[in-house]
């Protein structure tokens, strides 16, 4: 139970809003188990009616009760399935969402999860497993406890020796569980690691299909997948071997109880101490009791399996998020870097006591060799490594460590990546990242025309229909770069960050980009990384990065 309490405490924050639904779900589940316990009594009574002087009316009443309980059972089963699905899907989806948001806010310097595919597999699967486990536990545990109580009361009334034997089974099961729980936890953890690794490789092969096709490394990739598959198979077999011993013990307990009933129940029937109907009830109850005791055996086993899932999620949850301030600003007029020290490791220090100042109205070009630290400087300026250098970067004399840097970047920075990533969504949603804001399609179309993007589309309405219906993944490489420029410029930010903005443009496209940047620079800080001599010479100031 301590393990289950630990799992509940860990997931409680994700299921709090479902408490009312959970109470209804648990109550309906308990009624289902009570009905399961009552039906054998009706059956036993019905059997005894053929050997006694029971009236036809009594039989009709028994049949009516049986029918009513059966109908109620079906209704409750439907309710439990529907509500259970609502709770498990809703809570697990919320749990996944919060984990993904958490990982997005973990500093890249602190992120210990190197494989996004493994991370996705772990979060998706383990969140669902934990919530489903708790939902099932919430319904089954109290229901089975009530059922066991009803059965033991009946056994004590009808045949106390059988009740005593059934009670003695419980400490034996508890002792066996204590002996095997650590082994089950260890094998479950190993299997989950192997499963995550296998699915990570599968996902990687889908994502890296162009690489695999280009180099013809089909055999090499298949060998990697087979190795991961073998590791998963070996781990799964080890888990099954260990858990089977536990399950087999429970099944043997069931057989023992039934043999005991056959022997002593038969003797009691021959002596006239119990009726055939009562024997039928006893047999049914021992079967239900055995199933319920098996549930508690399996619960102990499953709890340690799910603890392994929880520990995997805890590893993610314990990664520290960035320290973000709460203040906000309306614009950025100056950016200052004062005494910045930064490196990815002690052996790879890129900046020592670095100082610089960037002002509105100028275009700055960061120039230097590959690996000199141009992109790293930009990342520090925009606060990507805020925990490491937040006290060294200032917007309008305010340290960025005091700012809500996510809000500032969202409103005041426009970024054009060298190789823009596209969401699997419409061009419209990729361009604007807006769902509810009013869009000026006339202005948006003019920006596109200046960069020769979708400039063959006539009217504004046709332009609007085009970008709201086409998927951004269909764009060519050159279109994607222009697309990123439009996205950054349309935001009308205080700061424009352009990473190799002309790398996919021809001479005409580069000239148009320069004209547009000249129009924009008066009220903006424009930071640009480029190896293009034309763009370097175009800049107002060249920042050498060595």
State pLDDT tens for residues 225-253: 888 889 999 988 888 887 776 667 666 76
Average pLDDT over residues 392-419: 92
Please check whether residues 291 and 436 belong to one and the same domain.
no
pLDDT, residue 364, reads 96
In a domain, 11, yes or no: yes
State pLDDT tens for residues 41-84: 888 888 877 766 567 777 788 888 889 988 999 999 999 989 88
**Residue 495 sits in which domain range?**
334-544
Pairing mode, strands 398-399 and 393-395: antiparallel
Please report which confidence band the pLDDT of residue 412 belongs to, taking 50, 70 and 90 as the band edges: very high
Q: The tokens of 517 are what? A: 């940047």
Q: In whole angstroms, give the CA distance from residue 82 to residue 274.
A: 42
pLDDT, residue 52, reads 62
Q: In whole angstroms, give the CA distance from residue 343 to residue 133.
A: 44
Q: In whole angstroms, give the CA distance from residue 528 to residue 522.
A: 16
pLDDT, residue 380, reads 94
State pLDDT tens for residues 282-332: 888 877 877 777 777 777 777 877 888 888 888 888 888 888 999 999 999
How many domains are there within the chain?
2
Q: In whole angstroms, give the CA distance from residue 368 to residue 315.
A: 39
Please check whether residues 293 and 364 belong to one and the same domain.
no
CATH code of the domain containing 59: 1.20.1560.10
Average pLDDT over residues 192-209: 79
Range from 337-351, 410-424, 430-444, 516-530 that averages highest in pLDDT: 516-530
pTM of the model: 0.71
CATH code of the domain containing 396: 3.40.50.300
Please check whether residues 165 and 91 belong to one and the same domain.
yes
Average pLDDT, the chain: 83
In a domain, 246, yes or no: yes
Residue 461's CB is within 10 A of a number of other CB atoms, namely 10
Last residue of a domain, one of 317, 344, 375: 317
Give me the DSSP letters along 471-508. BGGGS-HHHHHHHHHHHHHHT--SEEEEESTTTT--HH
Please check whether residues 222 and 88 belong to one and the same domain.
yes
Please check whether residues 309 and 385 belong to one and the same domain.
no
pLDDT over 70, % of the chain: 91
In a domain, 56, yes or no: yes
Please check whether residues 246 and 347 belong to one and the same domain.
no
- Please check the confidence at residue 203 and state whether its pLDDT lies above 80: no
In a domain, 325, yes or no: no
In a domain, 326, yes or no: no
In a domain, 255, yes or no: yes
100 phi/psi in degrees, rounded to 5: -65, -40
Please check whether residues 113 and 247 belong to one and the same domain.
yes
Q: In whole angstroms, give the CA distance from residue 274 to residue 276.
A: 7
Please check whether residues 273 and 344 belong to one and the same domain.
no
Of 504, 91, 41, 51, the closest CA to residue 281 belongs to 41
Q: The tokens of 8 are what? A: 């509940």
State pLDDT tens for residues 352-383: 999 999 999 999 999 888 888 899 999 999 99
Residue with the larger pLDDT of the pair 271 and 334: 334
Q: What is the dihedral of CA 431, 435, 438, 440, to 10 degrees?
A: 10
Please check whether residues 351 and 437 belong to one and the same domain.
yes
């Amino acid at each position: 139970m301590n393990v289950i309490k630990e799992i509940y405490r860990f997931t409680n924050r994700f299921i709090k809003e479902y408490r009312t639904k959970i109470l209804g779900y648990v109550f309906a589940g308990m009624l289902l188990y009570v009905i399961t316990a009552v039906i054998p009594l009706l059956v036993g009574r019905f059997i005894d009616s053929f050997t006694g002087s029971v009236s036809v009316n009594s039989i009709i009443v028994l049949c009516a009760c049986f029918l009513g309980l059966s109908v109620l059972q079906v209704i409750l089963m439907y309710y439990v399935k529907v509500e259970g699905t609502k709770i498990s899907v809703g809570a697990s989806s919320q749990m996944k969402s919060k984990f993904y948001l958490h990982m997005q806010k973990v500093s890249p310097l602190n992120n210990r999860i190197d494989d996004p595919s493994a991370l996705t597999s772990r979060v998706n699967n383990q969140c669902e497993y934990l919530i489903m486990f708790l939902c099932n536990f919430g319904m089954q545990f109290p229901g089975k406890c009530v059922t066991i109580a009803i059965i033991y009361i009946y056994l004590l009334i009808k045949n106390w020796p059988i009740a005593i034997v059934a009670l003695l089974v419980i400490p034996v099961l508890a002792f066996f569980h204590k002996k095997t729980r650590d082994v089950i936890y260890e094998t479950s953890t190993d299997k989950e690691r192997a499963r995550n690794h296998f699915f990570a490789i599968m996902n990687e092969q889908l994502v890296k299909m162009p690489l695999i096709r280009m180099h013809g490394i089909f055999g090499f990739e298949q060998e990697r997948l087979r190795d991961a598959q073998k590791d998963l198979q070996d781990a799964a077999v080890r888990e099954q071997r260990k858990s089977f011993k536990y399950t087999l013990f429970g099944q043997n307990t069931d057989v023992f109880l039934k043999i005991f009933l056959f022997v002593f129940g038969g003797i009691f029937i021959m002596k006239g101490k119990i009726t055939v109907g009562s024997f039928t009830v006893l047999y049914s109850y021992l079967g239900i009791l055995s199933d319920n005791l098996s549930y508690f055996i399996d619960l102990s086993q499953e709890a340690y399996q799910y603890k392994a899932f929880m520990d995997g999620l805890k590893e993610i949850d314990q990664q520290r998020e960035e320290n973000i301030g709460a203040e906000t600003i309306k614009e950025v007029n100056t950016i200052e870097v004062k005494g910045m020290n930064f490196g990815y490791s002690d052996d790879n220090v890129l900046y020592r006591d670095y100082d610089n100042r960037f002002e509105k109205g100028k275009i700055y070009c960061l120039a230097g060799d590959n690996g000199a630290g141009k992109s790293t400087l930009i990342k520090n300026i925009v606060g990507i490594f805020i925990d490491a250098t937040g006290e060294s970067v200032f917007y309008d004399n305010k340290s960025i460590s005091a700012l809500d840097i996510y809000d500032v970047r969202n409103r005041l920075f426009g970024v054009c990546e060298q190789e823009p990533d596209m969401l699997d969504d419409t061009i419209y949603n990729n361009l604007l990242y807006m769902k509810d804001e009013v869009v000026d399609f006339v202005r948006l179309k003019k920006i596109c025309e200046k960069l020769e993007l979708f400039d063959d589309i006539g009217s504004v309405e046709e332009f609007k229909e085009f970008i709201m219906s086409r998927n951004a993944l269909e764009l060519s490489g050159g279109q994607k770069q222009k697309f990123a420029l439009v996205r950054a410029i349309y935001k009308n930010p205080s700061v424009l960050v352009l990473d190799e903005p002309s790398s996919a443009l021809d001479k005409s496209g580069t000239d148009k980009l320069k004209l547009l940047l000249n129009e924009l620079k008066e009220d903006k800080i424009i930071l640009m990384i480029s190896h293009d001599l034309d763009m370097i010479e175009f800049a107002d100031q060249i920042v050498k990065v060595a």
